[in-house]
Chains A and B, each alone.
Chain A
Amino acid sequence: MSDEIKASSPKQAVLDTYVKIISEKVSENAIKEAYINEPNSHRPTLIIDKEYWHDVALVIRDDENMQFNYLMNLSGVDYEKYMEVAYHFYSFSRDEYLAVKVQTERDGGSVSTVIDIWPAADWQEREAYDLLGIGFTGREISRILLPDDWVGHPLRKDYVPHDEEV
């Protein structure tokens, strides 16, 4: 993505505000990367350091220039080198969208839970744990779609079905 396109994006100003707010209210180091996801209707996207995620989440919901009160979607992605949890937010009051990504280690990695901020995350976090093995700290977590005694997490790229007879 070249710098010209970035500058021409209608959402660049909005993104800059978000970056400023989070840097001021939480920490300079909280945001690892901030960009506009052009193909997806110019959606502002932030990559947040997982150490700061819970604090940033509170700001995202409560700051009056953000007000992202609706968690549309939470999904995990296995990028083979690391795990990523993608959050997609919508603000009813401001009619704005935001995507947030939090990255964690592939093995035994975990991300802070946000169910205390958006209860909608509850089952979606369980799903991410169930299918990708991403841990969520600060809550009890158990499998949701697969049986409790399932071996492995199917959506991981290196998943091999466990067959008891082999």
Chain B
Amino acid sequence: MELRTEEMLLNIGPQHPSTHGVFRVVVKVDGEKIVEATPVVGYLHRGTEKIAESLTYTQIIPYTDRLDYLSSMLNNYALVQAVEELMNIEVPERAEYLRVIVMELSRLASHFVWWGTAVLDLGATTPFIFAFRDRELILDLLNEISGARMTFNYMRVGGVKWDAPEGWLEKVRDFIPYMRKKLKEYHQLVTGNEIFLARVKNLAVYDGETAIKYGLSGPNLRGSNVKFDIRKNQPYSIYDRFEFEIPVGENGDVFDRYMVRMKEMEQSLKIIEQAVDQIPEGEIQAKLPRVLRVPEGEVYTRMETSKGELGIHLVSKGKDKPYRLHFRRPSFINLQIFSDLLVGNTMADLPAILGAIDIVLGEVDA
């Protein structure tokens, strides 16, 4: 005898504990199993690209803070990188070092939030608190240098806004061994846990080819054994001066993406360590006219944020405001594969898969 079953349409979000913001996904479930999924985005759309067209370049920087609000420093950099490329500006050494330090700290902070929430999505509450506790230390450091906890507005075209306060670099240096110890603790608490492994191994597998086809970037790409990191493959800023590795996964499952991010944190610490040792004295801001008039032209620049490739497509008509500014947001593009990964998995896998993609809705919806 065959049981008569009926598929149920379940609307998850926009308000839901594990959608990490106002993200909605309409799933068709057969019991616990997902047969169809349609993501719906746009609930946090603020028209950043439109607003940017009526602002000067310096005025746009605070808006980039609010894209991926978990790693604002990286977004700051993306914008100034594009403008600097188009204007061909030489940035002072010290400014570049400060940028790298704050960017890597920001990457760590973002990965902490990911680690805490992704594991929280699997039902473990403690890692979340641990991660946020340690993230707070980073935010304190960034607060000290920029004056804000999350929306830093720190970078400027041609340099950075503030020099490191006295003793700041020492504090960063002290933070590194502490964090290394904590990362071991993180691994002990979660990585070896049988239940955790049973939940994430062989879940939502895709190979490198698929990842490239879907335009995935960042840990989502590297988890599928594609050794590609923009910091290494197309070095920007001064990343070519540091030694670090690109961690990759083997199977391309949720666990591999998890491990890639965990190892990436170690590499970030390594970069910070080298940068703090090498940082020279000097200017932090290139000499630029008060009003930035970017020459006519068009650039597309890319950089590696904690989520993946953040690109800026900038079209200038020689004015002090951009003619067109497009953000290629990694979360937005990484999210496209989500519905394909869901099909065939169960409801309980949904937060695990979404957590492994690591989205920030401020960035998805721009």
Check B313–A88 contact: CB distance below 8 A.
yes
Per-residue A-contact encoding for B273-303, CB less than 8 Å = 1, 0 else: 0000000000000000000000101111110
* Chain B nearest Cβ from A49, distance in angstroms: 19
Check A43–B336 contact: CB distance below 8 A.
no
Q: Which of A3-11, A51-59, A119-127 contacts B (4 or more CB under 8 A)?
A: A119-127
Q: Which of A19-27, A69-77, A105-113, A133-141 contacts B (4 or more CB under 8 A)?
A: A69-77
Check A70–B215 contact: CB distance below 8 A.
yes
Residues of chain A within 8 A (CB-CB) of B313 are: 73, 75, 86, 88
Closest to B210 in A: A119
Check A69–B213 contact: CB distance below 8 A.
yes
Q: Which of B41-49, B59-67, B71-79 contacts A (4 or more CB under 8 A)?
A: B41-49
Cα distance, A144 to B213, chains bound together (Å): 21
Task: Tell me whether A145 and B213 are in contact in the complex, defined as CB-CB below 8 angstroms, given that A41-B85, A73-B313 are known contacts.
Answer: no
Residues of chain B within 8 A (CB-CB) of A151 are: none
Name the contact of B366 in the complex, choosing from A70, A92, A122, A145 (C-beta under 8 A).
Answer: A145
Check B233–A37 contact: CB distance below 8 A.
no
Closest to B300 in A: A88
Per-residue A-contact encoding for B105-127, CB less than 8 Å = 1, 0 else: 00000000000000000000000
Closest to A130 in B: B42
Interface size on B, residues (CB 8 A): 39
Check B365–A72 contact: CB distance below 8 A.
no
Task: Tell me whether A39 and B300 are in contact in the complex, defined as CB-CB below 8 angstroms, given that A69-B213, A120-B215 are known contacts.
Answer: no
Cα distance, A145 to B302, chains bound together (Å): 23
Name the contact of A122 in the complex, choosing from B86, B216, B233, B336 (C-beta under 8 A).
Answer: B336
Q: Which residues in window 110-166 of A have CB below 8 A to B?
A: 118-124, 127, 131, 143-147, 154-155, 159
Name the contact of B50 in the complex, choosing from A37, A69, A155 (C-beta under 8 A).
Answer: A155
Residues of chain A within 8 A (CB-CB) of B309 are: 72
Cα distance, A88 to B336, chains bound together (Å): 18
Check A144–B41 contact: CB distance below 8 A.
yes
Closest to A99 in B: B300
Cα distance, A37 to B214, chains bound together (Å): 26
Task: Tell me whether A73 and B85 are in contact in the complex, defined as CB-CB below 8 angstroms, given that A144-B42, A145-B42 are known contacts.
Answer: no
Q: Which residues in window 78-103 of A have CB below 8 A to B?
A: 78, 86, 88, 92, 95, 99
* Chain B nearest Cβ from A125, distance in angstroms: 11
Cβ of A40 under 8 Å from chain B: yes
The residue in B49, B297, B326, B328 that gathers the most chain A C-beta atoms within 10 A of its C-beta is B326
Name the contact of B49 in the complex, choosing from A71, A73, A118, A155 (C-beta under 8 A).
Answer: A155
Q: CB within 8 Å of B: which residues of A?
A: 37, 39-41, 43, 69-73, 75, 77-78, 86, 88, 92, 95, 99, 118-124, 127, 131, 143-147, 154-155, 159
7 nearest A-B pairs in the assembled complex, by CB-CB distance: A120-B215, A75-B326, A145-B42, A73-B328, A40-B299, A145-B45, A88-B300
